[in-house]
Amino acid sequence: MQNAYQPIFSQAIENMALIPIVMIILLLILSTCSCAAISSSESTIQTEQNVDGPKYGSQAKRLFQSHNYISTHKALDYWAISPYYIAQQNERSCSVASITMIVNAARVAKTLTSNEELATQQSILNRVNSQEWNRQVSSNGIGVTLNQMKQLVEASLKAFNIQYISVEIIHTMDLSEETKQKFHKILIENENSSTNFLIANFDGSIIFDDVQYGHFAPIAAYDADHSQILVMDPERQNYEPYWISEDMLLHAMVTQDPESAQYRGYIWIKIFE
C-alpha cells in the first residue's frame, strides 16, 4: 500500500514546492503594471483603509464644488473635452480612454459628415489595430508606458484623419525650477487654445490615499491665478473631474514607472489643421 501511495505523495510534495514560484511570478506581474488604474484588489485595500475618510482627501476638489473658473474664463479645453468625458473600460485601459477623449476633442471644431462617427474606445482600438496595445489594456494586461503613448496617440489621431500633429513626451525627472517652469509654460500655452492638449501620466497614490498606481488622464483646464489643474480622470468608477494643485500633480508625475524604470510625466499634443 505504501508503494501505491508513493506517487501521489511525491506529486503533492512537488505541487507544494511550486506554490512559492507561482506566488513570485504573480508578484512580478502585479509589480509591472505601468498604466493600470486601481485594480480590484487595490480598491479593496483603499476601501478598507479609508472606509470612513473623505473620498477625495484634502488634495483634490470636485468640479461641482469649484466651477467659478469655468464660468468666468473661456476654458477652451474644458469645452472641447468635457462632451467626450468617458470611463475607461477596465482597470488597465486609462490610455485608451484618455486618447479617445483627445481624438474627439481634436475634432470638435470640425464639421463632421453624417457618416463620420465619434471615436469610441473600441473604434480607436480597432482602427489602430495593435495587438500589443489590445493585450496590454485587456483586463489582465499590464497597461502601457509613457513612451508607448507617443506612438499610440499619433496612430489614433491619424486613424481619425488628423494628420498634421506633433506629439511630445516629457519625462518629469525632478522637482527642479527648470522642470516646474517648463510645465507651467506648457500649461499656460495649453489653456489658451483648443488645438493643443495635455495628458498627464502620474502616480495616483500621491494625490489620493491609496496604494501606488500609474495612471493617464487628460488635463481639461488650468487656473493659473490659483495654480489649480482640472483633471478629467477616466477612472469614473471612483472619481469625477477634480482640481488639484500644480505642485501636487507635478509631484505625482515625478515618480517612476516600475515597468519602464523611467519617470512618468506628460504628453504634449498639438494639432495643426
φ, ψ of residue 111 in degrees (nearest 5) = -95, 105
DSSP strand pairing (61-62 vs 242-245): antiparallel
Compare residues 133 and 197 and give the one whose CB is closer to Ca ion. 197
The nearest distance, CB 270 to Ca ion, in angstroms, is: 9
**Residue type at 198 in one-letter notation:** L
Write the DSSP assignment of 181-236 as a string of letters.
Answer: HHHHHHHHHHHT-SSEEEEEEEEHHHHSSSS--EEEEEEEEEETTTTEEEE--S-T
Stretch near Ca ion under the rule CB under 5 A, chosen from 60-68, 102-110, 196-204, 205-213: 196-204
Q: Do the Cβ atoms of 199 and 216 come closer than 8 Å? A: yes
Rounded Cα–Cα distance for residues 91 and 89 (Å): 7
Scored b (16 or more CB within 10 A) or e, 55-83 reads ebeebbeebeeebebbeeeebbbbebbbe
**Closer to Ca ion at the Cβ: 208 or 216?**
216
Q: Which of residues 77-96 bind Ca ion (CB under 5 A)?
A: 77
Does residue number 246 form part of the binding site for Ca ion (CB under 5 A)? no
Minimum Å distance from CB 183 to Ca ion?
A: 14
- Nearest approach, Cβ of residue 164 and Ca ion (Å): 16
Minimum CB distance to Ca ion smaller for 50 or for 193: 193
Residue 154 vs 209, nearer CB to Ca ion: 154
Q: HSE (CB half, 13 Å, CA atoms) of 52?
A: 0
Burial class of residue 86, CB neighbours in 10 A (0-12, 13-18, 19+): middle
Contacts (CB under 5 A) with Ca ion, residues 58-77: 77
Q: In this complex, which beta carbon is closest to Ca ion, that of residue 82 or of residue 190? A: 190
Residue 93 or 196 having the CB closest to Ca ion: 196
- Residues 166-195, mask of contacts with Ca ion (x by CB under 5 A): ------------------------x--x--
To Ca ion, the closest distance from the beta carbon of 194 in angstroms equals 5
Smallest separation, CB 43 to Ca ion (Å): 32
C-alpha cell at 11: 506529486
**Residue 41 CB contacts under 8 Å (≥ 6 apart), including other chains:** none
| Residue nearer to Ca ion on the CB measure, 36 or 102 | 102
Contact positions with Ca ion (CB under 5 A) in 126-155? none
Q: How many chain residues are in contact with Ca ion, going by CB under 5 A?
A: 4
Return the residue of 196, 205, 228, 255 that touches Ca ion, per CB under 5 A. 196
In one-letter notation, the amino acid at residue 75 is A
Compute the least distance from the CB of residue 160 to Ca ion, in Å. 18
Q: Compute the distance between CA of residue 35 and CA of residue 257 in angstroms, rounded to an integer.
A: 8
Q: C-alpha grid cell for residue 254?
A: 515625478
| Residues engaged in binding Ca ion (CB under 5 A) | 77, 190, 193, 196
